[in-house]
Amino acid sequence: MSAYQNEIKAVAALKEKMGSSWSAINPEYVARMRVQNRFKTGLEVAQYTADIMRKDMAEYDADSSVYTQSLGCWHGFIGQQKLISIKKHLKTTNKRYLYLSGWMVAALRSDFGPLPDQSMHEKTSVAALIEELYTFLRQADARELDLLFTALDAAREAGDQAKAADIQNQIDNYETHVVPIIADIDAGFGNAEATYLLAKKMIEAGACCIQIENQVSDEKQCGHQDGKVTVPHADFLAKINAVRYAFLELGIDNGVIVARTDSLGAGLTKQIAVTAEPGDLGDLYNSFLDCDEISDAELGNGDVVIKRDGKLLRPKRLPSNLFQFRKGTGEDRCVLDCITSLQNGADMLWIETEKPHVGQIAGMVNRIKEVVPDAKLVYNNSPSFNWTLNFRQQVFDAWTEAGKDVSAYDRANLMSVDYDESELAAEADERIRTFQRDGSAHAGIFHHLITLPTYHTAALSTDNLAKGYFAEQGMLAYVKGVQRQELRQGIACVKHQNMAGSDIGDNHKEYFAGEAALKASGKDNTMNQFG
């Protein structure tokens, strides 16, 4: 017997027990409402999605072709529509997640207005967006199931038993829109205690996976901006521990932590690490500092010095009071960061790179795997990269190395539209198309995400509408460019009243009031124009 039928049976028994005062209660209606509200709390969501992520991680370890993907979403509606689209076109949400970008929270969700991604948005705004996303995903479940219930009633009324059985099967085997969210906690917004408190809020909202980075909280910069400041490993590991304790306190024992390092591009540190003996973790961190060897006589007022191998070394300190690392040490620091994080509680890695290059990523990941064989990466397929130019240059360089004639191309100007139909551009586009597959096969990338896609799509679609609507096209700009496309492509949102829950509300009114219900979906409802 299906869960749906079990719910009907259970409520029927309860109704009988309660006697005539419950005569108006329909057990099947109750069962429908229960099925539509599968997840009662954010913690239920977090546990359900953590189980999914752990299963997916194990499957990736066995077969690197089964990687996972997500798009960054800045509003519950955007996340909802993404999952509706996935179910419509691909029939399953398997291996498809949501990403919650701190960058988009700063730019689009802050009470201060648009902000740069520099740890300035409100601490609780990410947790609030997680809750909002899951509210919209749960509503998508309720809406879709409501359509099935309505169709079931119609099939029954028509006496079509075969159709009714088919719809019942769809209800019994329904796949939820609720999927894992990888949520960006930035650098923790403060000390380890603040990180723990914030992580709890995010998990209680439904997050099963939290991404945290090894930058100074109050001076954190976007991964593709300059001026990034790392912290010694001990500081970062305390925050990883804080996130783990938050998961464990709330009973999500298999919660996932992604440890991000920006060391490839981060050339600064605020602190000199504590070291007790040569070769320990603090000593390794300090070994990358850019230093001048000095004598006792050269010590100046307030100088900070390091003693190594009997020598006095003075780290170069900037007017900002930050210390800088030696140029060219980024990859080594990145590898050390990753190994250390995985050996101390992190489940996966995030390496922020300056360009999307499978070979570069693989070079670091292979070094990490020598120590941690099952190391897995979450990778940012970032809109901050100029993908067209990067990949055309990669092809240009590969052709040059292979001795192929590239005289028809100007490497510095490969973005030009003049090259769009060229052989080089075609090969570059093919490499872009297979980048995720290749990265997962050769560079240990378990999860591919695009941080800011819906930021850009919102801007592009709004521009396309505005330029016509406020000019000569007028209303045709909307009808031709939006509504007609919604109809042609089967976009459910064309029935915006239904998407917002009007039909669910009507059915509830019928549950509550029977024939006396005042419903919105009568014959004069304008939504009926859309079929």
Q: What is the Cα–Cα distance from 290 to 271, expressed in whole angstroms?
A: 13
CA distance 324 to 334: 15
Domain 42-117+179-268+331-414+441-460: homologous superfamily in CATH: Phosphoenolpyruvate-binding domains (3.20.20.60)
Q: Report, as an integer, the average pLDDT of 492-507.
A: 91
Q: Does position 304 have pLDDT exceeding 70, yes or no?
A: yes
Mean local confidence (pLDDT), 186-215: 96
The proportion of the chain whose per-residue pLDDT surpasses 70, expressed as a percent, equals 97
Phi, psi torsion values for 317, nearest 5 degrees:
-115, 130
The predicted structure's pLDDT at residue 298: 87
Place of tokens 């913690």: 43
Where exactly are the structural domains of the chain?
42-117+179-268+331-414+441-460, 290-324, 476-519
Mean pLDDT (the chain) is 94
Catalytic residues: 222
How many CB atoms sit inside 10 A of residue 137's CB?
25
pTM, two decimals, is 0.94
3-state secondary structure of 69: strand
For β-strands 291-294 and 311-315, DSSP reports them as antiparallel
Residues in the chain: 531
Between 118-122, 272-276, 367-371, 439-443, the lowest mean confidence (pLDDT) is in 118-122
Q: Look at residue 456 and tell me whether its pLDDT is greater than 70.
A: yes
pLDDT value of residue 226? 64
Instruction: Say whether pLDDT at 221 is over 70.
Output: no
For residue 315, pLDDT over 90 is answered with: yes
pLDDT at 530: 74
| Residue 360 pLDDT grade (very low, low, confident, very high; cuts 50, 70, 90) | very high
pLDDT over threshold 70, residue 1: no
- Strand locations in 253-359 (E): 256-261, 268-269, 291-294, 306-308, 311-315, 323-324, 348-351
The answer to whether 138 and 206 are in contact (CB under 8 A) is no
Separation CA 268–CA 482 (nearest Å): 48
Residue type, 326: R
Q: Which of 111-125, 187-201, 382-396, 426-440 has the lowest mean pLDDT?
A: 111-125
- pLDDT tier at 117, thresholds 50, 70, 90: confident
Given pLDDT bands bounded at 50, 70 and 90, which one contains residue 189? confident
Kindly state the average pLDDT of the residues 241-254. 98
The model's pLDDT over 6-63, given as tens digits with 9 standing for 90+, comes to 999 999 999 999 999 999 999 999 999 999 999 999 999 999 999 999 999 999 999 9
pLDDT at 173 > cutoff 80? yes
Q: Flag whether pLDDT at 504 surpasses 90.
A: yes
Q: What is the pLDDT of residue 224?
A: 59
Average pLDDT over residues 227-242: 94
